[in-house]
Amino acid sequence: MTFKRILMGACAAAALSAPMLVASAPASAESVLRVVMHSSLRVLDPIMTTAYMSRNHGYMIYDTLLAMDEKQVVKPQMAESWKVSDDGLTYTFTLRDGLMWHDGTPVTAEDCIASIKRWGQRDGMGQKLMQFTKEMTALDAKSFTLVLKEPYGLVLESLGKPSSNTPFMVPKKLAETPPSEPMPEQIGSGPFKWVKEGFQPGLKAVYAKNTDYKPRSEAPSWASGGKVVKVDKVEWVTMPDHMTAANALINGEIDFVENPPTDLLPIYEADSNLEMRITNKLGSQVMMRPNHLHPPFNNPKVLEALSYAVSQKDVMVGMVGDNPKYYQTCTSYFICGTTYGTQAGSEGKMVGDIATAKKMLAASGYDGTKVVIMHPTDVATLSSHPPIVAQAMRQAGFNVELQAMDWQTLVGRRAKQDPVDAGGWNMFITTWVGADLINPVANLGINGSGKKGGWFGWYENAEMEKLRDSFARETDPAKQKAIVEQISKLGWSTIPNLPLGQFFAVSVFPKSLKGVLDGPAPYFWNIEKTKG
């Protein structure tokens, strides 16, 4: 009897509580856009780090002086206009009326100068711009000049840089923070305000509409044009499980998934209420980075053999499946479909020509030295490539060892310049958003400075540096293109890195969500939640 009574009591309690639970939907009139981003936001300073999540955070709360549109033309953003002197050495920028920081103080020319200086200490393009800059001077509260030491062809492209590190404008008091330290506050002049109380690292970041923001009148295009916010709040929710994100989107609990993995796309495709769109039309490049300091990749002939052994198509199919909507083979260092998207010098390479690779490897003097490839197994977008590359290399005659590790171990280890036996490495593979690679100054992968400021792998080539420098100085677009052709040819003969193909991530959202913008970063202005 006692068991029965307990059981009946439990059933009655459950029956009574069920309607209350089912009926407990939130009744809020506030329009909140709930978004699952590709990762969680951890570092709030988009100048201190190049992490894409910090860049995305930057686009929410900060604004930029200039911005690139979808045709890759630089447009004024916070600037009303700019003028260039006849000798091409003095750029005068004038700010728009009504620009305010989130703390209610006006944006001034001094703020912009301090912001550019801080960014110029951290970003590759920024550092180059600063090398050519003689001085920056505020003319009044709304205008300032940037005076060059000598002609420089990338002033506007640098200040309108669309991806990490994007030159966001911040108040002078924050811009005076050393770039190795995080800014103590999150005060911008952008279309959203940071909700400090809502931030839970690894879980959630909250942004409220900046009601004082004065959008431009032009239509939005990438990060340029009118940033009109049509929701009250945006919440970035971190979901470590992609399947949960899919279920939550289908169930209407969230509104946008930035980058679901391709193996889950059929689930989204099956739901007619959802729209799948490639918002970053430039896509991203997979990059194989050899370590040039140690054998065997200190031998250019071995590197050339490698460029024949690996097949871009195999790598791309292994990553996103054999669906050409989501990838393209492309041997441009500067992203196919862009102004400098040349593939000069890559003829016959990256197609998995094992026979040629074998012959070249035999002729290179390769002595069977072990090649250690670091294999990050915890990041879905990076874990598929190393085994495919390793297999092709083995077929060509390389002695390959794949070493499994988590991405953060790889990030720590790749900074080591020691030989492999002392904890070093020979190769790793990573991905870059296309916008980070679109010209020879922005593209760190072809930086030929070696140990003196080059990127991990320490490719050293004085001729490459000379060409990159010439490109930066050149102001004639036709001549710039000719230099890029030379750079591409030099790259494919010395192999600073090997592009493994271009892939296109899909964003998924309900069809009732209107105004989702394209761009190299996700933007959340212009988006409207409608009923149908």
Partner 1 sequence: MLAFISRRVLATIPVMGVVAIVIFLLLRLTPGDPAAIIAGDSATEAQIMQIRARLGLDQPIYIQFFSWIWRLLQGDLGISIISNIPVSTMIAQRLEPTLALATTTIIFAVFVAVPLGVIAAWRQGTLTDRGIMIFCVMGFSVPVFVMGYLWIYGISINLRWLPVQGYRPIANGFGPFFERLILPTLTLSVIYIALIARITRASMLEILDEDYIRTARAKGLTETRVLLVHALRNAAVPIVTIIGIGVALLISGVVVTESVFNLPGLGRLTVDAVLARDYPVIQGVILIFAFLYVLVNLAIDLSYTILDPRIRY
Where does this chain bind partner 1 (CB under 8 A)?
Answer: 1-3, 6, 10, 17, 20-24, 26, 40, 42-44, 48-51, 54, 122, 124, 164, 178-182, 199-204, 237, 239-241, 243-244, 247-248, 250-251, 253, 378, 405-409, 411-413, 415, 430, 432, 436, 444, 453-456
Of the pair 73, 130, the CB lying nearest partner 1 is at 130
- CA geometry: angle at 120 spanning 160 and 176, to 5°? 115
Asked whether 262 and 321 are in contact (CB, 8 A), the reply is yes
CA distance 508 to 494: 40
Asked whether 63 and 190 are in contact (CB, 8 A), the reply is yes
Of the pair 109, 498, the CB lying nearest partner 1 is at 498
Length of the chain equals 532
User: What minimum distance in Å lies between the beta carbon of 358 and partner 1?
Assistant: 33
Beta strand spans in 131-283 (E): 133-140, 143-148, 168-169, 192-194, 204-209, 233-237, 256-257, 274-277
What 3-state class would DSSP assign to 275?
strand
The type of residue at 385 is H
Tokens of 338: 């862009």
User: What minimum distance in Å lies between the beta carbon of 244 and partner 1?
Assistant: 5
User: What minimum distance in Å lies between the beta carbon of 246 and partner 1?
Assistant: 9
Of the pair 322, 418, the CB lying nearest partner 1 is at 418
Of the pair 2, 272, the CB lying nearest partner 1 is at 2
User: What minimum distance in Å lies between the beta carbon of 2 and partner 1?
Assistant: 5
Other Cβ atoms within 10 Å of 182 Cβ, number? 16
User: What minimum distance in Å lies between the beta carbon of 410 and partner 1?
Assistant: 9
Of the pair 44, 420, the CB lying nearest partner 1 is at 44
CA distance 267 to 38: 18
User: What minimum distance in Å lies between the beta carbon of 68 and partner 1?
Assistant: 18
Of the pair 86, 181, the CB lying nearest partner 1 is at 181
Tokens of 41: 């936001």
Of the pair 135, 253, the CB lying nearest partner 1 is at 253
Of the pair 78, 472, the CB lying nearest partner 1 is at 472
CA distance 255 to 513: 8
Which residues are CB-contacts of 20 (< 8 A; sequence separation ≥ 6)?
Answer: none
Tokens of 532: 């149908």
Asked whether 295 and 273 are in contact (CB, 8 A), the reply is no
CA distance 333 to 112: 32
User: What minimum distance in Å lies between the beta carbon of 113 and partner 1?
Assistant: 22
User: What minimum distance in Å lies between the beta carbon of 318 and partner 1?
Assistant: 21
CA distance 95 to 141: 9
